[in-house]
Amino acid sequence: MKFSAAILTSVLAAASLVSAAPLQRRGQTKMMTKTTRFDASGAIYFITNEPDENMVIAASINSDGTLNLDRAVAAGGRGAHGIADGPDALFSQGAIKASAKGQVLATVNAGSNTVSLFSIDSRTPTNINQIGDVVSSEGEFPMSLAFNAAGTQLCVLNGGQVNGVFCYKVDKKTGLNAMPNTLRPLGLNQTTPATGPAGTASHIIFSEDGKQLIASVKGVPPTPGFLAVWDVNSDGSLSPDFKKIAPAKNGILPFSMTVIPGKNAILATDAGLGFDIFDLKDNSKSSAVAIDGQVATCWSSFSKKTGNFYLTDIGTATVTEVHVDNNLKGTIVAQHPQLPGSATIDNDIATVNGQDFLYVLAPNATAVDVLLLDGSGTAKQLSTLDLSGPTKAAGITINPNNLQGMTTFTR
Ligand SMILES: *[C@@H]1O[C@H](CO)[C@@H](O)[C@H](O)[C@H]1NC(C)=O
Ligand SMILES: *[C@@H]1O[C@H](CO)[C@@H](O)[C@H](O)[C@H]1NC(C)=O
């Protein structure tokens, strides 16, 4: 197994000290642009995840898919770094999520054990405003978020010593309202902050039909990880217990999950192998596929335009494009190397003027890579958004080891 040796045995850095003191400086915004854009096609968002103060960074998407760094908004809490070295502080995908349907944005504050909700101004999508109070995640080290399709329910995955899931009703006036019968434990033997990446929670999503809530958990080699699946009742409450689904043979560290459209199936990146395909109807049809030369393939998204999945590897700084056929057979279509050492992590896709663009957070380069997905196998490097100059000029602290998340919004 290629992953692990280096990462698992790496000397554990002292965990950043995380204060439990509340921090609720509502709405503090720092501008990085002089012109307010009323013509943006959409926006991307990620978080600084700084232990002193977490901030949401928002960049508008121009009509050609390129980015314009607009502003940073106080998230209302603190970030945290799991017990491990380097970037990918939360060991997760989905630390910040936008809902186009709900026109809302939510972020975890992993060091405060809280979740914040913002409205998105659809005319100027980087203009976000906090709604209601910052609320408890009802667990420790919140690391991932999922909206239902309507944007009316939000669930959080806690990955620390107190781990599991919890959900809120999303109200555009009052914010996040705790939903009864949604606090469900995962039962992981973990610490706060989490110790990883092996053995940590990874990602939370709703199934395509919205009837299940799914959390992924990485294994501790040689023991494989699993998906935890709760049924979602019509009132949004969850089944008392989860169903545990193991990856196919050789699957070991399920990380991000991306729905395979129309199939009741999921593509999960596997940090120890490449990727796992989970057939939720019949797990005997699930498979695990190796990506040769991979180090840690952890994040993924799907393009409606190309019909392919885009997987990022933090160690090789490469985007691997994958196709999954009608029989759920996954094959590698192409690989798109990015800047070596840039540590490509979270990614997401936006459709702008009929074209799909892939946005990849590359924290070690303090940059966001923009790729035009103009056809199957032909992702084209379009531009790179520099984060260090503009954030420094605006007095915003960023750190390659803490930057996390990537979510897109289009009108
Ligand atoms: C939990 O993990 C710790 C640290 O690895 C270990 O010492 C302990 O035995 C584990 N506890 C259980 C119940 O597995
Ligand atoms: C990130 O950059 C540091 C400093 O240059 C380097 O030591 C490290 O290997 C890089 N990490 C990754 C995952 O590329």
**CA-to-CA distance for 233 and 217, rounded, in angstroms?**
23
**CA-to-CA distance for 359 and 66, rounded, in angstroms?**
10
Mean pLDDT of 340-363: 98
Residue 319 CA to ligand 2 centre (angstroms): 17
> Which of 3-12, 79-88, 172-181, 366-375 shows the lowest mean pLDDT across its residues?
3-12
Taking the CA of residue 314 as reference, the ligand 2 atom at the shortest distance is 13
**Domain segments of the chain: what residues?**
5-410
Q: What percent of the chain has pLDDT over 90?
A: 90
Q: Is 388 helix (H, G, I), strand (E, B) or coil?
A: helix
What separation in angstroms does the CA of 78 have from each of 22, 74, 98, 405?
Answer: 9, 10, 20, 15
Residue 14 has pLDDT above 60, yes or no: no
Output the pLDDT for position 218. Answer: 98
Residue 12 CA to ligand 1 centre (angstroms): 17
Mean pLDDT of 244-266: 98
First and final C-alpha spacing in the chain: 43
Residue 17 has pLDDT above 60, yes or no: no
Residue 306 has pLDDT above 80, yes or no: yes
Output the pLDDT for position 6. Answer: 39
**CA-to-CA distance for 261 and 312, rounded, in angstroms?**
20
Ligand 2 site-directed mutation target among 3, 88, 297, 364, most atoms within 8 Å of CB: 364
Tokens linked to 379: 């992702």
Residue 7 CA to ligand 1 centre (angstroms): 20
Residue 339 CA to ligand 2 centre (angstroms): 12
Q: Which ligand is nearest to the CA of 84?
A: 2
For ligand 2, atom 6: residue with the closest CA: 341
Q: Which ligand is nearest to the CA of 161?
A: 1
What separation in angstroms does the CA of 233 have from each of 179, 211, 236, 401?
Answer: 12, 7, 5, 39
For ligand 2, atom 4: residue with the closest CA: 364
Averaged pLDDT score across all residues of the chain: 93
Predicted confidence (pLDDT) per residue in 91-128, tens digit:
999 999 999 999 999 999 999 999 999 999 999 999 99
For residues 120 and 11, the model is more confident at 120
DSSP state of 39: -
Mean pLDDT of 364-393: 97
pTM score of the predicted model: 0.93
Residue 340 CA to ligand 2 centre (angstroms): 9
Tokens linked to 260: 């395979």
The answer to whether 60 touches 369, Cβ cutoff 8 Å, is: no
Residue 235 has pLDDT above 60, yes or no: yes
What separation in angstroms does the CA of 22 have from each of 77, 128, 321?
Answer: 7, 21, 42
Output the pLDDT for position 276. Answer: 98
Residue 366 CA to ligand 2 centre (angstroms): 12
Residue 21 has pLDDT above 60, yes or no: no
For ligand 2, atom 14: residue with the closest CA: 341
The answer to whether 136 touches 114, Cβ cutoff 8 Å, is: yes
Mean pLDDT of 295-320: 98
Radius of gyration of the chain (CA): 19
CA–centroid distance for 23 within its chain: 23
Predicted confidence (pLDDT) per residue in 258-293, tens digit:
999 999 999 999 999 999 999 999 999 999 999 999
Mean pLDDT of 203-217: 98
Residue 38 CA to ligand 1 centre (angstroms): 53
Residue 56 has pLDDT above 80, yes or no: yes
Output the pLDDT for position 39. Answer: 73
The answer to whether 203 touches 186, Cβ cutoff 8 Å, is: no
The answer to whether 277 touches 324, Cβ cutoff 8 Å, is: yes
Strand order from edge to edge, sheet including 226-231: 201-206, 212-217, 226-231, 243-245
Output the pLDDT for position 20. Answer: 41
Residue 219 CA to ligand 1 centre (angstroms): 14
Q: Is 392 helix (H, G, I), strand (E, B) or coil?
A: helix
Output the pLDDT for position 1. Answer: 37
For ligand 2, atom 8: residue with the closest CA: 341
Residue 315 CA to ligand 2 centre (angstroms): 9
Strands 29-31 and 114-120: unpaired
For ligand 2, atom 2: residue with the closest CA: 364
Of all helices (H) and strands (E), which one includes residue 8? helix 5-8
Output the pLDDT for position 36. Answer: 63
For ligand 2, atom 10: residue with the closest CA: 341
Output the pLDDT for position 37. Answer: 62
Residues with CB under 6 A from ligand 2: 86, 314-315, 341, 343, 364
Residue 34 has pLDDT above 70, yes or no: no
Residue 189 CA to ligand 1 centre (angstroms): 6
Mean pLDDT of 329-340: 98
Q: Which ligand is nearest to the CA of 364?
A: 2
Taking the CA of residue 340 as reference, the ligand 2 atom at the shortest distance is 14
Output the pLDDT for position 38. Answer: 65
Local confidence band at 2 (pLDDT 50, 70, 90 cut-offs): very low
Taking the CA of residue 342 as reference, the ligand 2 atom at the shortest distance is 14
Local confidence band at 164 (pLDDT 50, 70, 90 cut-offs): very high
**CA-to-CA distance for 74 and 333, rounded, in angstroms?**
40
Q: Which ligand is nearest to the CA of 223?
A: 1
Strand order from edge to edge, sheet including 367-373: 347-352, 355-362, 367-373, 379-386
Q: Which ligand is nearest to the CA of 83?
A: 1
The answer to whether 116 touches 75, Cβ cutoff 8 Å, is: yes
For residues 344 and 24, the model is more confident at 344
Q: Report the CATH fold assignment for 5-410.
A: Methylamine Dehydrogenase; Chain H (2.130.10)
Output the pLDDT for position 32. Answer: 87
Residue 166 has pLDDT above 70, yes or no: yes
Taking the CA of residue 315 as reference, the ligand 2 atom at the shortest distance is 13
